[in-house]
Amino acid sequence: MKKQSHTSKKSKNEDKESMVLSKIAQMPDKYQKMGEKLHNIIMNSSPTLTPRLWYGMPAYALNGKVICFFRGDENERYMTLGFNESAALDEGNLWPTSYALLELTPFEEEKISILIKKAVRGIGSQ
């Protein structure tokens, strides 16, 4: 019985990831490669996150709560990487909750990885 439950959960998560990858594939050419990179950075930074669609955007959740998301539409001049309240990236009285992305160089990739790890680690301390 447990094995079926685990298999069912894995299958459900794979379906959600397929939907996220499909959404990324539908992004305009200028954002598609960045979306694929972002997906890989997020999943490699915290394999405990579950990909899903959230308001039509690729998003990543922990224990059912969306931690981060990104979007890139044709009429936008940059992609946006955003973090929800549950990400717990608090720094004093003022901190960013979203970032504009024009390009993903190794510098941005490393910074995003650090933010994802911090966001997930912060949930454990709440």
Nearest CA among 96, 74, 102, 93 for reference residue 84: 96
Who's near 58: CB < 8 A, 6+ residues apart? Answer: 20, 23, 24, 35, 38, 39, 51, 69, 70, 71
pLDDT, tens digit, 9 for 90 and up, residues 96-125:
999 999 999 999 999 999 999 999 986 754
Specify whether the CB–CB gap between 113 and 44 falls below 8 A.
Answer: yes
pLDDT over 50 (residue 1): no
Domains with residue ranges and CATH for the chain: 2-124 (3.90.1150.200)
Reported pTM:
0.86
Rounded CA-CA distance 112/12 in Å is 27
Closest CA to 35 of 76, 95, 93: 76
pLDDT of res. 47: 93
Q: Amino acid identity, residue 48?
A: T
Residue range 6-36, pLDDT digits in tens: 556 667 777 889 999 999 999 999 999 999 9
pLDDT per position as a tens digit, 56-67: 999 999 999 999
Tokens standing for 88? Answer: 């717990």
Please list the alpha-helical segments (H only) found in the chain: 2-25, 29-45, 106-124
